[in-house]
Amino acid sequence: MAVDRAAIEREALRMAGGRTWLLLSIIAAIAGYLVYAHFAFDVPKLLQNARWENAVILGTDAVAHKVHVVHNNRTARYEVSVEGERTATYAEPPNWVAVAGSKAAVDLEDGYVVEIDGASMRFTVPGYGIIAARADANGVTADLPDGVRPDWLIVAPNKLDARPTLGRRVQVSRAKIEVHRYFFGWENFWFPFRSELHDKSAGELWTLATSGDRIDDGMPNWQHIFLTWWRNPDWQHNEVFIALLETIMMAVLGTLVASFVGLPLAFLAARNFSPSGVLRFFVRRLFDVLRGIDMLIWSLIFIRAFGLGPLTGALAIAFTDTGTLGKLFSEALENIDNKQVEGVRATGASQIQRYRFGVIPQILPVFLSQSLYYLESNTRSATVIGALGAGGIGLLLVETMRTARDWENVAYIIVLTIVVVIMMDSLSTWLRRKLIEG
Amino acid sequence: MATASIEQEIHRIEARRRLYSGILLIVVAATMIAGFLEASRMNSGSFFGGLKQFWDYPGEIVIEAWQSGTAFFGLLVHFIPALVETINIALVATIFGGLGALVLSFLASRSLEVWPPLIPVVRRIMDVTRAFPELIIALFLIFVLGGGPIPAMIAVAFHTTGALGKLFSEVNDNVDRKPIEGLRACGASWLQRMRFAVIPQVLPNFLSYFLLRLEINVRASAILGYVGAGGLGTELRRTIGWGQGAGDETAAIFVLLILTIVAVDQLSSYLRQRLTRSDRAH
């Protein structure tokens, strides 16, 4: 039979052409949808309203702390404190602040100097000039260098705010003159400012911990050092660690319960194991309901019933995932190889032995790998459920962000959360490899 | 003689394995019980106290929804725009995440020979994006960009990139290399080899994973809405915040959310089944 090469070629080209058109129209549809989404989400307005300075504030504040030098215009007194906190006030001003009577000179380095004299101040800014300001009962009067006023300098009748660099800021109001100088690092991370351990080096601490002379009569020194750190009021290490523990508990308990409740139910829902069709139908619908109601709604219901805490989160995870894992396990059971079961039966094994040696070994890998996979993803879910109000690290993070007192604390919580989530992820991957392949 | 010793050996191994399994089971059971006792103690409400009032809240909103009568359907319609926003968040995030995953998975796959030194780097990047908690990205972006759908979308897309990237790269690693070699022998370029030898092999699996992810992302975007990222979740927080009397609105949102999740579930599993079936027919 003669082969019509030209016809075959035409046909092939036609098919390829059809495919190309399909591909192009799919790409066009996606692009069109994204254009629609662009307007539905109102991207231009969002970009207009975005507060990029917030990102900068969070970025700098998260890795730095500031020391406030404040002159109170009413009491005419100076106060130097970390982050302006009453509990962290220096008894003697640090060496970059020189106070002499009503006058003070604050050295902000690189030529930036603030001289305060009573209720007036002079701020020397290299490359710009000298900003002078005086506060009195009528407001703030400023005397600026000639030329265009830069963006970082805000002058209002009652306030002057100069921030020539991120790390240097001077504010003058009727009540006070306030100078901020930023330092890199987290302040008072180990011990509270007032603690006698505050400015000790690691070596000194070691000597102290091993020495017999007790700082606190009630306990050995190592315990005292640990407790001073653990109960540090600025960082609340104890609360953060307990919150992390709660989040891990939610994930672990929720996943364990879901797998161990899901497995027996899966047998009832699998076509080849279920004792009755009616039962199978109802168990499958139960899985659908548990999954369909979703973790969000389950958490809200459980928060109402059980209040805050790991139990609430664990139950919300357990309910949702019993549905998901049950469905997955029942599908795995329906797909098992019957030959293995027959083989076990041929040796005269009882029903239980058939399950134990014919069925369980076949679904064990699915059971383990899916449970571990959900354990990992539930650690992330647990942070979100926590933020809904169930507690744990999620709630702590939302609350710390809302009060926005200190971004270092937010950064600390974020870092620890990421570390824990990545740790659980690696643990689950490692266990999966170990248990299934090894 | 030899058989007996082998048999003994087998029994010994068997006994040890049984012992290990037993210990593992006991440890798991003990962890569970201790954990629940501890969790119950840490909770602000008690377990049995909560059990008694478990149905109070669902009951309350069902009664309020029932009392509102036909106005309930009006509420359902009222919340449709929020629902559309939630679905948009999920869909856009899955599209962007999917595109990112596509690029990363091609870079991370040994058999596609893009640039081998890049493989371990890209794999680590995928691990980190996958493990990074969505909540943190969403909260950070809400702080910078203000509340709205975009922060949730970016947060979900970020995680999707890693999660899908890993699955995609596993598919890429399992491709049959013969068509690639065949095309190379004809002098096809890299792009042509990908287009005619790799894409046809991996596309059904990619689409199937994409749909599965879409299903997960609809849930994720609803839940992120609750922390302030727009859509149904935000509406839900508002109505729940009103406390008593807004039960009918809460019920309407619950109904919409459940219906959507079930619909997306069903659609996705139907399409996935069709994809794998057509795959088998080839």
**Does the pLDDT at position B110 exceed 60?**
yes
Chain A residues within an 8 Å CB radius of B32: 253, 256-257, 260
For residue B95, which residues of chain A lie inside 8 Å, CB to CB? 30, 33-34
The mean-pLDDT minimum among A98-107, B34-43, B155-164, B231-240 falls in B34-43
Q: Choosing among A48, A239, A296, which should be mutated to test the B contact, i.e. which has the most B CBs within 10 A?
A: A296
Tell me the DSSP string of A139-170: EEEEE--SSPPPTTEEEETTEEEEEEETTEEE
Percent of chain B scored above 70 by pLDDT?
A: 95
Across the interface, whether the CB atoms of A305 and B53 are under 8 A apart is answered yes
Q: What's the confidence (pLDDT) of residue B201?
A: 87
- pLDDT one-digit tens code per residue, A300-323: 888 888 888 888 899 999 999 999
The pLDDT of residue A2? 60
The percentage of residues in chain B with a pLDDT greater than 90, rounded to a whole number, is 16
SS3 A124: strand
| In the predicted structure, residue B145 carries a pLDDT above the cut 50 | yes
A438: pLDDT confidence band, cut at 50, 70 and 90? low
ipTM of the complex: 0.83
Q: How confident is the model at residue B282 (pLDDT cuts 50, 70, 90)?
A: very low
pLDDT at A145: 86
User: Which pLDDT belongs to residue A402?
Assistant: 79
Q: Please state, in angstroms and rounded to a whole number, the distance separating the CA atoms of residues A232 and A210.
A: 22
CA distance B111 to chain A (A): 22
The model's pLDDT over B149-201, given as tens digits with 9 standing for 90+, comes to 899 999 999 999 999 998 898 888 888 888 888 988 988 888 888 888 888 88
pLDDT above 80 (res B124): yes
Beta strands in chain B (DSSP E): none
> How far is residue A325's CA from residue A262's CA, in Å, rounded to a whole number?
6
pLDDT band per the 50, 70, 90 thresholds, residue A221: confident
CA distance A261 to A358: 21
Q: Who has greater pLDDT, A34 or A193?
A: A34
Q: Do B88 and A34 touch (CB under 8 A)?
A: no
- Which tokens go with A120? 């007036």
Report the C-alpha gap between A333 and A269 in whole angstroms. Answer: 9
* Mean pLDDT, rounded, of chain A: 85
DSSP A26-38: HHHHHHHHHHHHH
Nearest-angstrom CA–CA distance, B164 and A182: 42
Note the pLDDT tens digit of each residue in A86-121. 777 787 888 888 888 888 888 888 889 899 888 888
Of A34, A256, A387, the CB nearest to B227: A387
| Proportion of chain A above pLDDT 70, given as a percent | 97
Residue of A nearest to B251 (CA): A297
Query: Which member of B42, B134, B233 has the closest CB to residue A309?
Result: B42
**Would you say residue B78 has pLDDT above 60?**
yes
Neighbours of A110 (CB within 10 A): 10
Q: How far apart are CA A382 and CA A385, in angstroms?
A: 5
Say which residue, A163 or B113, is predicted with more confidence: A163
User: Can you list the alpha helix ranges (DSSP code H) found in A307-359?
Assistant: 310-334, 338-346, 351-354
pLDDT at position A373 over 50: yes
pLDDT value at residue A164: 87
Neighbours of B170 (CB within 10 A): 14
pLDDT higher at B266 or A437: B266
Average pLDDT over every residue of B110-121? 79
Counted residue by residue, chain B has a size of 282
- pLDDT for B277 equals 65
**What does the mean pLDDT of chain B come to?**
84
- Closest CA of chain B from A49, distance in Å: 7
pLDDT in tens, B20-31: 888 888 887 887
